[in-house]
């Protein structure tokens, strides 16, 4: 055979492939073409990646944090709303300071207060005087994580009980007369007539002795009539059937049975700050009260 030409180059080996074989797996892909010592050093790093990932996503749930108000100690580490990673908080204030952990809203949901229905009204706190009655409700679910606070759990309303606990009628001189404007009586008379219960009433004249400033300082439309109350004036108060007690046939607070010149108490309905004292002058069988200074017992 002829000798090869000295000018022909020697054949080169095939190039190494950069693509790992499918069966090599991710470890083979990572280690392909690397020295043995490099593979040994890289293995712990690869094994630590899942641990680092879990730590990066820490947040509130992993530490069981949900703190009221502003609490610097309510601190974790994780992703923040701005996309950065680092210290983050799990307290209510973080929503305003924008440094909540990524899972705060899910881990610490806003829960409002939930209360029960109102109970029935109690009886009057005390008999024979202007006092109050009470109704209550209780908390079913306390507010959490900045939820709406609980509403009032107790409510009071004005109340007068005209009979003692023993079932005897209160002395008239101890009960303040509850009065309102005379115009209220027109509608009340119509209702009584429609029910077939209308009976003759009476009127009582009183001289106003003392009036609290609250009578003049109320500006609601339904309290304008109180501005006509003046110390020294004589007022006429009508006792109509709807306000008559079925047993005594008197309106409570009319001063029947009181001594001459005895100071009696009255209170305006609709304004607890408007009250005072007066003296009973006389009772009139036929009512002829003037329109301005005409009032009603309630």
pLDDT at residue 261, rounded to an integer: 83
More confident residue, 42 or 292: 292
Check residue 205 and report its DSSP letter.
Answer: E
More confident residue, 197 or 83: 83
209-234 pLDDT per residue, tens: 999 988 888 777 777 888 888 898 88
pLDDT at residue 49, rounded to an integer: 41
CA torsion 49-53-58-63 (nearest 10°) is -40
Residue with tokens 């409510």: 155
Kindly report the CA angle at 16 between 15 and 18, in degrees rounded to 5? Answer: 125
Report the range of poorest mean pLDDT among 16-20, 234-238, 279-283.
16-20
3 state DSSP class of 235:
strand
For the chain, the straight-line distance linking the first and the last C-alpha, in angstroms and rounded, comes to: 141
CA 31, distance to chain mean position in Å, is 66
Cross-strand pairs, 239? 202
Check residue 243 and report its DSSP letter.
Answer: G
Task: Domains for the chain: give ranges and CATH numbers.
Answer: 60-109 (no CATH), 114-160 (2.20.100), 172-297 (no CATH)
Check residue 102 and report its DSSP letter.
Answer: T
pLDDT at residue 123, rounded to an integer: 82
What is the pTM (predicted TM-score) of this model?
0.44
Q: What is the band of 298 on the pLDDT scale with cuts at 50, 70, 90? A: low
> CA gyration radius for the chain?
44
Q: Please state, in angstroms and as integers, the Cα–Cα distance from residue 133 to each residue in 138, 155, 205, following that order.
A: 17, 8, 31
Tokens of 72: 């610097």
The pLDDT of 274-297, averaged and rounded, is 79
Q: Please state, in angstroms and as integers, the Cα–Cα distance from residue 287 to each residue in 206, 232, 266, 278, 290, following that order.
A: 14, 21, 20, 19, 9
* Sheet strands (E) in the chain: 75-79, 85-89, 114-115, 130-136, 139-141, 154-160, 177-181, 202-211, 234-239, 263-268, 275-284, 294-297
Q: Provide the b/e sequence for 131-141 (b: ≥16 CB within 10 Å).
A: eebeeebeeee
7-51 pLDDT per residue, tens: 444 554 443 332 333 333 334 444 444 454 444 444 444 444 444
Euclidean distance between CA atoms 214 and 274, whole angstroms: 5
Percent pLDDT > 90 in the chain is 20
The rounded mean pLDDT for the chain is 74
Report the range of poorest mean pLDDT among 12-21, 86-95, 127-136, 266-275.
12-21
């Amino acid at each position: 055979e002829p000798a090869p030409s000295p000018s022909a180059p020697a054949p080169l080996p095939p190039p190494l492939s950069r693509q790992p074989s499918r069966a090599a797996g991710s470890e083979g892909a990572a280690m392909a073409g690397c020295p043995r010592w490099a593979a040994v050093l890289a293995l712990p790093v690869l094994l630590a990646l899942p641990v680092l990932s879990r730590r990066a996503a820490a947040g509130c749930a992993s530490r069981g944090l949900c703190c009221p108000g502003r609490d610097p100690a309510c601190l974790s580490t994780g992703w923040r709303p701005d996309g950065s990673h680092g210290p983050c908080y799990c307290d209510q204030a973080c929503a305003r300071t924008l440094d909540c952990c990524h899972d705060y809203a899910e881990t610490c949901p806003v829960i409002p207060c939930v209360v029960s229905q109102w109970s029935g009204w109690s009886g009057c706190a005390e008999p024979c005087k202007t006092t109050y009655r009470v109704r209550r409700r209780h908390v079913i679910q306390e507010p959490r994580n900045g939820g709406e606070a609980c509403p009032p759990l107790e409510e009071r309303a004005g109340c007068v009980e005209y009979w003692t606990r023993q079932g005897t009628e209160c002395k008239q001189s101890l009960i303040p007369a509850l009065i309102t404007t005379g115009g209220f009586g027109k509608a009340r008379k119509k209702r009584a007539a429609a029910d077939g219960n209308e009976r003759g009433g009476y009127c009582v004249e009183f001289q106003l002795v003392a009036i609290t400033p609250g009578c003049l300082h109320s500006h609601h439309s339904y309290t304008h009539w109180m501005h006509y109350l003046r110390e020294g004036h004589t007022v006429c108060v009508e006792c109509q059937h709807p306000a008559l007690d079925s047993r005594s046939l008197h309106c409570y607070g009319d001063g029947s049975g009181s001594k001459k010149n005895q100071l009696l108490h009255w209170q305006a309905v609709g304004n607890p700050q408007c009250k005072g004292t007066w003296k009973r002058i006389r009772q009139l069988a036929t009512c002829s009260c003037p329109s301005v200074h005409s009032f009603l017992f309630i």
